[in-house]
A and B are shown apart, each in its own frame.
Chain A
Amino acid sequence: MDKVKVNMFVNGKPVSLEVKPYARLLDVLREDLGLTGTKEGCGVGECGACTVIVDGETVNTCLTLAASMDGKHITTIEGLMENEKLHPIQEAFIKHNALQCGFCTPGLIMSAKALLDSNPNPSTEQIKVAISGNLCRCTGYEQVVDAIKEVAEKSK
C-alpha cells in the first residue's frame, strides 16, 4: 500500500515521515519516533494512557491516524521538560504521590497540561472532568486532583 507523507511538529521539532495510511499516531510515536512515554492500555479510546496534545487539544493517539497529522503540533510527555527542568505538573505529581505504577501517568499529565494551558484556574470539578478520560487503577485520583490544583494555584 502506498505510504502517505506527513510533515508535523513533535515536541517543537519538525518531523517528516512516510506512514502507512492506516498507521495509528500511537504506533508512529512509539515505533518510528521512539517516544515510548505514550502508552497503550485499551486501544479503543477508553483508558487515555495514549493521550497527547495536538494543537492544544488532547487526543487519544490509539484512535488517531498518523496521516491526519500533517501540519499539526504534537506534544508528548517527552516534550514537557524544559532546560532539563521538570515541568511544574510533573513536579506536583511527584510531590503529591499522584502516581504509583505510572503507566497511566503520562496520559494524565498531558490531560492536566491541556487543561491548565487553556484554563489556568480550573475548579475541582473542571479538573475532574478534564482527567475523566484517563483511567488510573492505582491512585483513586485524589492525589492527582490535588497535584493539578496546586499547579493552578501556584501560577496565580
Chain B
Amino acid sequence: MADSSITRVDVLAKALGKAKYTDDLKFDNMLYLKVVRCPHPHARVIGINKEKALAIEGVVAVLTATDIPGLPCQPKERPILVPEIARYAGDGVALVVAESPKAALEGAEAVRVEYELLEAVFDPEEALKTGAPLVHGDNNVAAQSKVCKGDVEAGFKEADLILEREYNTHRVEHAPIEPEVAIAVPTFEGITVYCPTNSPFQVRQIVAETMAMPQSQIRLFQPTIGGSFGSKCYDAGVLASRAALAAKLTGRPCKIVYTREESIVESTKRHPYKMKYKVGVKKNGKLTAMEVKIIGDSGAYKSKTPFVISRSSIEATGPYVVPNVHTEAICVYTNNVTSCAMRGFGSPQVAYASELLMDELAEKLGIDPLKFRRINGLKDNSLSATGQVMQNVTLDECLDKLEQEIKWSSRKAELKQQDKTGSIVKGLGLACMYRGESFGSAGQGSDYAGATLQVQRDGSITLYSAMSEVGQGGHTMLVRVVSEVLGIKPSRIFVSPVDTCYVPDSGPTVATRGTYVIGNAIRLAAEEVKAKFAEVAAEELGVRPEELVFKDERIYCPGDPSKSISFSRIAAQCYLKSKSPYGYGWWSPPVGSWDREKGQGEAYSSYVYGACAAEVELDLDLGKVEVMKFVAVHDVGKALDKEEVKGQIAGGVSMGIGYALMEDLVVRQGVVKTVNFDEYLLPTSLDIHEIIPVIVEQPSSYGPLGAKGLGEPVMSAVAPAILNAIADALGTRVYDLPANLEAVLDKARAAKGRCCND
C-alpha cells in the first residue's frame, strides 16, 4: 500500500459540521412541498378538492397526477402521484407547494380527497389465491426465480435424516439517520436536482421520464449523503421527481424533506420472507438434497424485487455442497408498503434460514456445528447450487480464523458446564455466509462503470465517477486505487462531487459492486494515465516506457537511479507537449452462462465468504438477549484500509443485531404502526458489546488490487449466529425473526416449564 495511514477523504468536513447535506442547502425564493398521502391500503381516487388548501395563506399550488407532463411511473412502479389507484397506505395523491413548510403542512391537511375503497390483500399467500384482490394486472406475481440441480427425490431417498422447517423473516427499515430530501432548481437549460441517492443516473432517468425531458437536461447533484443502506434509489427517484415537477411548474426552487414519520410510512423496506426448507442428510453429515420454497412480500410495487428474489434463490442453500437442489422463489404484490433493496439484497433472509437449518442438522446428528459446516462447505472446484465450479473459495479459511479467535471447542465446553439454575444463561452460536459480488449473470441488469481521471497541470488529480459516498468510504477506496497504480500520495487526488452533468455513469452503488465494478473502472483509468505518462517520461529520460516504475511520487528506471523524474513534472510536460493527461476506464464484470429456466450456470463471477460467531447472555425472566461478543470473520480480498474494514464490519454487525433482536416494522391491515424511533427500535450504544472483526485476505481474481466488497456481506451471518446462540442457551429454537423479548420469553418459559404467572 502506498500510504495506508491516510484518513478518509470525506470525514474532515463531516467532523467539523461543515459537510453540506441536501437539507442544509438554501436557495433564494425557495418553496416547500408536502405530500398528501392516501391513508387507505387500496383505493380509487374519485375526486380531489384543492379549494380549501389553495385558500390558505402561503399555499402556491396543489399538484396532482394530471399535472405530470411525462410518465407518473413505469408500469408496476410507484407513481410520483397516483393517477387513479392508490395501492398502499402512503401512496402520494397530491403535492402542496407553499411559501413555508408550515403553510405546506396546513395546505396538505386541507386537501380533501374522496376515495372509493377497494378490497385489499396483505398476506402474500392470500394474494396468490384465485379471486384475491389484484394489485397489478391479472395476477399478483411480482417475480419468480428457480434453481434446479440434480434430482431432489433421489437425494431424499439417499438421506438418513430428513428435516422440514419453516422460517419467517420480518420487514425492517433501512433507517439512515438522514431522512429523504430533494431540492429542484429550475434553470434556463433544464432542471438541477440536489438529492442524496445511491443511484444518481437512475434517479435522473426517473426525473426525466416524469418531466418528459431529455436525460441530459436533468442535472442531478449529490450533496453529502447521510446514509442509504439501499434505500435511496427508487425512494429518491420519487422524491426528486416531485421536487422537479413543482420546480418546473412554479419556476422556483422547491424543497421536499420528509419527517421521520413520512419516511417510515412511505419508504421501501427489506422483503419479509416465508421460507420452507426440506433437507436430506446422511449420518456422516453429508447433505444429499435440499428443497426450498420462498414466498416474499413485494408490497405494492415492483422496485428491485426481481433482482432480490433471484439472488435469494441462488444463495438459498448457503455456501454448501448440495448435490440435488430444487428452489422456487416467488415474490408477490400486496397492499403493504413496498419492499426493495436493503443491505444484503436478498442474502440475509436465506442466510438466516439455511444457517439455522445447518445448526439443527448438526445437533440432530450429534456433530459439532462448526465441523458440520466444514463437512459440507464449498471448497475450490466444488459445484455450487447453480452448478458453477467454484474457485477461490475461502470458507475454510474463515472457519479456521473463527475457530481460533473464539476458541470454539474450549468455549463450547466451558458453556456446557455453566450453571443453568439462575435467570441468566449463556450460549454460543455460529453462522457462515457467501455472496456473489455485483449484479451477476442471473440478469440483475446491465452491470458497468465508467470513471475518469484528469491530471492537472500541477500534478494534482481530479477523479470523476458516480460512486455514491453513502458513508462506506467509497470515495476513499477510489483514491487508494489510483494512488497505488500511479505511485502517488492520496492527497494529490480530489474526488469530484457526483454531478451527472460531468461524471461518467458508474451505475448505482448497490449489490456489492462499488469496489468491484467502479474500483476496476478507476483502475483502468489510472492505468491509462500511467501508460500516457510513461510515454512522456520515457522520452524525457531517454529510456523505453516499459522500463519505468511509478513509485513514491516519481517515475524512474530501477536499473539506473539517475533516470528519474517527478510525477508533477511529467504532468506539466503533458500540457507543454499537448499530450492528453486524461485517463478513462470502463469496466464490466465477466458474464457467465445462465440458464434462466433451471437457474443453472455461472451466477456470479466473484464471491465473498465469511464466518461469524455470537456469544449471548439471555435473561430467562425478561426474554432479553445481550450479544456479549461477536466475532466476524470476512474475506475482503485485500483490505484497502483496515480501520475502514473494521468500521464496516462493526456497523453491519450492529445492524444485524437490530435485525435479529429488536427492529420490527409493524404493519397492520396495510397501515404502518411503528412510525418513528420511539417505536421502531434501533440498536443504541448500550445494545452493542464486544465486536471483534477478523480479516481474511485472499486476493480476488477480478477485484481492483485484489479487493472484494464488504458493506453488504457483513449483514448476512449476524442474525443466524445470534439465533443459533440463543438456541444453544435455551436448548430450544426461535425460528422466526425478530427474536424480541416476547418471542424469547415464550421459548424460555416453555424451556423452563414455567407458566405465565410465574
B15 and A86 within 8 A (CB): yes
Which B residue's beta carbon lies closest to that of A144?
B685
* Contact partners of A128 in chain B: CB under 8 A: 685-686
* Contact partners of A104 in chain B: CB under 8 A: 177
* Contact partners of B7 in chain A: CB under 8 A: 94-95
A46 and B20 within 8 A (CB): no
Known contacts A99-B14, A141-B685; is A43 also within 8 Å of B227 by CB?
Answer: no
* Contact partners of A30 in chain B: CB under 8 A: 24
- Is B108 part of the binding interface, using a Cβ–Cβ cutoff of 8 Å? no
Q: Which of the 9-residue segments B347-355, B450-458, B515-523, B647-655 touches chain A?
A: B647-655
Distance between Cα atoms of A54 and B247 in the complex (Å): 39
* Contact partners of A97 in chain B: CB under 8 A: 8, 11, 643-644, 646-647
Interface of chain A residues 35 through 94 with chain B (CB within 8 A): 35-44, 46-47, 49, 76-78, 80-81, 86, 90, 93-94
Closest approach, in angstroms, between the C-beta of B57 and any C-beta of chain A? Answer: 13
Known contacts A37-B18, A135-B177, A135-B682; is A102 also within 8 Å of B676 by CB?
Answer: no
Distance between Cα atoms of A106 and B17 in the complex (Å): 6
Which B residue's beta carbon lies closest to that of A143?
B647
B647 and A90 within 8 A (CB): no
- Interface residues of B toward A: which range? 35 or more
Distance between Cα atoms of A38 and B18 in the complex (Å): 10
- Is B669 part of the binding interface, using a Cβ–Cβ cutoff of 8 Å? no
Closest approach, in angstroms, between the C-beta of A36 and any C-beta of chain B? Answer: 4
B177 and A47 within 8 A (CB): yes
Closest approach, in angstroms, between the C-beta of A87 and any C-beta of chain B? Answer: 9
Central interface residue in B13, B224, B260, B470, by most chain A CB within 10 Å? B260
Interface of chain B residues 635 through 682 with chain A (CB within 8 A): 643-644, 646-647, 649-655, 676-678, 682
* Contact partners of A140 in chain B: CB under 8 A: 647, 649-655, 683, 688, 691
A100 and B647 within 8 A (CB): yes
Map CB proximity to A onto B685-724 as digits: 1 under 8 Å, 0 otherwise. 1101001000000000000000000000000000000000
Known contacts A95-B7, A136-B177; is A143 also within 8 Å of B650 by CB?
Answer: yes
Interface of chain A residues 110 through 144 with chain B (CB within 8 A): 127-129, 131-144
Map CB proximity to A onto B216-242 as digits: 1 under 8 Å, 0 otherwise. 000000001111110000000000000
Q: How many A-B residue pairs have CB under 8 A?
A: 167
- Is A109 part of the binding interface, using a Cβ–Cβ cutoff of 8 Å? yes
Chain A interfacial residues counted at CB < 8 A: 53
Distance between Cα atoms of A77 and B13 in the complex (Å): 11
Central interface residue in A41, A76, A81, A106, by most chain B CB within 10 Å? A41
- Is A9 part of the binding interface, using a Cβ–Cβ cutoff of 8 Å? no
Interface of chain A residues 5 through 40 with chain B (CB within 8 A): 30, 35-40
- Is B531 part of the binding interface, using a Cβ–Cβ cutoff of 8 Å? no
B23 and A94 within 8 A (CB): no
Distance between Cα atoms of A133 and B12 in the complex (Å): 23
Distance between Cα atoms of A61 and B691 in the complex (Å): 32
B224 and A102 within 8 A (CB): yes
* Contact partners of B643 in chain A: CB under 8 A: 96-97, 143
Which A residue's beta carbon lies closest to that of B648?
A100
Distance between Cα atoms of A127 and B175 in the complex (Å): 24
- Is A145 part of the binding interface, using a Cβ–Cβ cutoff of 8 Å? yes
Closest approach, in angstroms, between the C-beta of B126 and any C-beta of chain A? Answer: 33
- List 15 A-B residue pairs with CB atoms under 8 Å apart, sorted by A's residue number: A37-B16, A44-B260, A47-B677, A77-B17, A78-B16, A94-B11, A99-B15, A100-B473, A100-B647, A101-B227, A105-B17, A136-B177, A139-B647, A140-B650, A140-B654
CB within 8 Å of A: which residues of B? 7-8, 10-21, 23-24, 175-179, 224-229, 259-261, 470-473, 643-644, 646-647, 649-655, 676-678, 682-686, 688, 691
**Given A94-B7, A139-B651, 19 additional A-B pairs, CB 8 A:** A43-B261, A44-B260, A78-B18, A81-B16, A90-B15, A94-B8, A100-B471, A101-B224, A101-B226, A101-B228, A105-B17, A131-B685, A132-B685, A135-B677, A137-B229, A138-B227, A138-B471, A140-B683, A143-B647
